Amino acid sequence: MTIQQIRYFLVLSEELHFWNTADKVFISQSSLSRQIKALEDELQIQLFERDKRNVKLTNAGKFFQEHWSNVLKEFDQVLQQGKKIDEGKAGTIAITYPGSIAYDFLPSFLEVLHSELPELKIELIEPTDESHEKLLIDFKTDIALGREKFDNANIESRILYSEPMCLVVPKNHRFSTGDFTGIEDEKFIISGLHQATFFAASLRSWFSKKGFEPKTVIESDFGGMIINLVSKGLGISVLPLSFKSSQLENVVFIELEETIDLFISWRKKELNNTVKKVIELADKACELGGYRNS
C-alpha cells in the first residue's frame, strides 16, 4: 500500500467514476483500475462496488474514505512543514543572548526573523548560571549571541558588530563634561568583577587602566536594573552603549575609548538549515540597523 494508492482511492471515492478520476490524477483508466485492485487485494477488503455503469463505495470504503482523508491531510501538513524546515523556513530555534542587546539589536534581529521567517518559533534564553558555550555544547540552545568568541573546536563564532563601552551617570553629573577627575571616589553599580565572564574581564581591564579599584556599592548582572539604580542617583556604572536604547530618563551615556564586540556562535557542522538561515539573517539585521563591525 502506498500513499499514491490512497490518493487515487480518495479521488475515486469523490468522483465515483473511473474515467473522470483517471483524467484528474493524470493516469490511464486501466492503470487506475490496477492500482485500486492492488489496494483492495493487499487490504483484503472490497472498497468499491462496481458494474459496467456504476461505481459506489462499500461501507468499508466509506470508513476508509473518512479516516484516510484526515490522515492524508495531516501527512501533507507534516510533509510541508518538513520541507520548510529543510529549506530553513520553519521549525523552532533557541537563541541565548546577553541582556545588553535586549533594548537594541535583539528587537531589530527578531523583526527581521519575523519578516523573513514568519512561521519560525523562537525561544529566547538569557543565561544566568550556565555559560552560552555550555548551552551550545549540551544542545540546549542553537545560536548564542554573546560578548566573546569561544575557543572550542566544536563551536563556530564570528563577530557581528562592535560598540563603545560607556560611563553611565545620572543627568547633570559632573562627569557629563568628560572630565573624570576624582572618579576613584565615586560609588559604582556594576557586574561582579570576580566573575569569569568576558564582560567582567573587560571591566577589570578598564579599571586597571584607570589605576584604581572601584568602590562597588551594588553588584548586579542585569543592566536594566543597573540603569534604573543609576537614574536614582545611587551610583554610576560602566555598560555597553546598547543600553542607551532603553531611553531611561535622568541617565547619560558617555562613550569611552574601549569597545566591546557582539559575536554570534553556533555548533560546527550544523545540519539544521533553519539555524544556517537565522545566522544569515543576523548579518542582514546588522546591515539594516547600521551596526558597526570592528
Nearest to 237, CA basis, from 169, 147, 289: 169
Taking the CA atoms of residue 111, residue 115, residue 120 and residue 122 in that order, the dihedral angle to the nearest 10 degrees is 0
What's the rounded Cα separation, in Å, for the pair 216 and 191? 9
DSSP state for residue 126 in the 8-state scheme: -
pLDDT confidence of residue 160: 95
Q: Identify the architecture of domain 3-86 in CATH.
A: Orthogonal Bundle (1.10)
What's the rounded Cα separation, in Å, for the pair 7 and 75? 12
Which pTM was predicted? 0.71
What's the rounded Cα separation, in Å, for the pair 243 and 248? 9
What's the rounded Cα separation, in Å, for the pair 250 and 65? 69
* pLDDT (tens place) for every residue of the chain, 294 residues total: 899 999 999 999 999 988 898 999 899 989 999 999 999 999 999 999 988 778 999 999 999 999 999 899 888 888 876 777 777 777 889 999 998 899 889 999 999 999 999 989 999 998 865 688 888 988 889 999 999 888 899 999 999 999 999 999 999 899 987 788 999 999 999 988 888 788 888 999 999 999 999 999 999 988 889 999 999 999 999 999 999 988 888 999 999 999 999 999 999 988 888 899 999 999 999 988 888 765
Helix ranges restricted to H, 144-272: 198-210, 223-231
* Topology match between the domains 90-160+262-289 and 163-259: yes
Fold of 90-160+262-289: D-Maltodextrin-Binding Protein; domain 2 (3.40.190)
pLDDT confidence of residue 162: 93
pLDDT confidence of residue 221: 85
pLDDT confidence of residue 290: 82
Helical (H) or strand (E) element with 189: strand 187-190
Q: Identify the architecture of domain 163-259 in CATH.
A: 3-Layer(aba) Sandwich (3.40)
What are the residue ranges spanned by the domains of the chain?
A: 3-86, 90-160+262-289, 163-259
Write out the three cell numbers for 184: 576613584
